[in-house]
C-alpha cells in the first residue's frame, strides 16, 4: 500500500504567482488534512476535507488560500498571489478514521 | 483556542541515557497522539492514547496519559542515535482538529 504522495516536493515561486500543491491520500483513506510548518515550529492545521467536501477550514487564511478534494484525483491546496510569508513546508495527511494521521513527505515552498 | 504545551523544547542526551518529553493541556483532552519527525522528514504517527491513566509501550518507548486526561508523557529508555528527531504531541478536544505542540527536539550524542 503506497503511502501518502505529495508533489512537487520542492516549489519555487516568485511573489505574486500561484502555487498548487497536490496530495494523493493512501488507498482507502477518505479523510485528508493539510498542515503548514515553519522552521523549528510545530504543525499548524489548515483544512480538513473528505471527498468533495470541506469539513473544517478554520485554520485556513481567509484570502488567497483554497483547498479541494474532488471525486476523482488528488487533493489540491492552492495559494494565489504568494508572498514571502507563505514560504514553509506544507504537509498533507490522510486517515481512514479521522484519528491517526499518515503524513506525506511534504512540499517545501519557497517564495522569492 | 485550545493548545498543548510541550516541554522541554530541546534535549541533548548521551547515547544510553533516558529521555522524557511532557505535554500539557489546560482542559481535558479527548485523546492524545504522538508523532516523530526526523530532520528533513515528515511526521510519523507513533501512538494514540484515549483512556484516563493509559500506559502503552513500544519497545523502548513508554507513553502515558494522565488520570485527568490533561497531560501525557513519552519516555525513551536507553536512547540510541536512531532516536534523534523531534517528538510532537497532538491533541483532540471532541471534534476539534488535531492541535500539535511545538515539539521536543532530541539530540543524541554517541
Higher pLDDT, A100 or A68: A68
**Is any Cβ of chain A less than 8 angstroms from the Cβ of B10?**
no
Cα angle A54-B89-B3, degrees, rounded to a multiple of 5 = 65
- Rounded distance, CA A6 to CA A67, Å? 14
- Rounded distance, CA B4 to CA B99, Å? 7
- Per-position DSSP letters for A66-94, written without gaps between them: EEE--SSS-EEEEE-S--GGG-EEEEEEE
Residue of B nearest to A95 (CA): B45
* H or E element, residue A44: strand A43-50
| Per-residue pLDDT at A39 exceeds 90 | no
* Interchain pair B48, A105: CB under 8 A: no
- Rounded to a whole number, what is the distance in Å from the CA of A13 to chain B's nearest CA? 21
Asked if B63 contacts B56 with a C-beta cutoff of 8 angstroms, the reply is yes
Chain B residues touching A33 at Cβ < 8 A = 97-98
Share of chain B above pLDDT 90, in %: 93
pLDDT of residue A41: 82
- Rounded distance, CA A78 to CA B8, Å? 35
Beta bridge partners of B55: B64
CA nearest to A86, candidates A6, A5, A15: A15
pLDDT of residue A14: 98
- Give residue-wise pLDDT tens across range A75-97: 999 999 999 999 999 999 999 88
**Mean pLDDT score of chain B, rounded to an integer?**
95
Across A12-25, average pLDDT: 98
Amino acid at each position: 500500500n503506497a503511502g501518502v504522495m505529495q508533489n512537487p516536493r520542492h516549489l519555487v515561486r516568485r511573489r505574486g504567482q500561484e502555487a498548487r500543491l497536490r496530495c494523493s491520500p493512501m488507498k482507502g483513506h477518505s479523510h485528508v488534512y493539510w498542515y503548514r510548518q515553519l522552521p523549528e515550529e510545530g504543525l499548524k492545521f489548515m483544512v480538513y476535507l473528505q471527498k468533495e467536501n470541506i469539513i473544517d477550514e478554520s485554520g485556513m487564511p481567509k484570502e488567497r488560500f483554497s483547498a479541494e478534494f474532488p471525486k476523482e484525483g488528488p487533493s489540491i491546496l492552492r495559494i494565489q498571489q504568494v508572498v514571502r510569508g507563505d514560504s514553509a513546508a506544507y504537509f498533507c495527511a490522510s486517515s481512514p478514521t479521522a484519528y491517526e494521521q499518515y503524513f506525506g513527505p511534504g512540499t517545501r515552498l519557497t517564495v522569492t | 483556542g485550545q493548545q498543548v504545551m510541550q516541554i522541554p523544547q530541546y534535549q541533548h542526551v548521551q547515547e544510553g541515557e533516558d529521555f522524557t518529553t511532557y505535554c500539557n493541556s489546560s482542559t481535558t483532552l479527548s485523546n492524545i497522539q504522538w508523532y516523530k519527525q526526523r530532520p528533513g522528514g515528515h511526521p510519523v504517527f507513533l501512538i494514540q492514547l484515549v483512556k484516563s491513566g493509559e500506559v502503552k509501550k513500544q519497545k523502548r518507548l513508554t507513553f502515558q496519559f494522565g488520570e485527568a486526561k490533561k497531560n501525557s508523557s513519552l519516555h525513551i529508555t536507553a536512547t540510541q542515535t536512531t532516536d534523534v528527531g523531534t517528538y510532537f504531541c497532538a491533541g483532540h478536544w471532541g471534534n476539534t482538529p488535531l492541535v500539535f505542540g511545538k515539539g521536543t527536539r532530541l539530540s543524541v550524542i554517541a
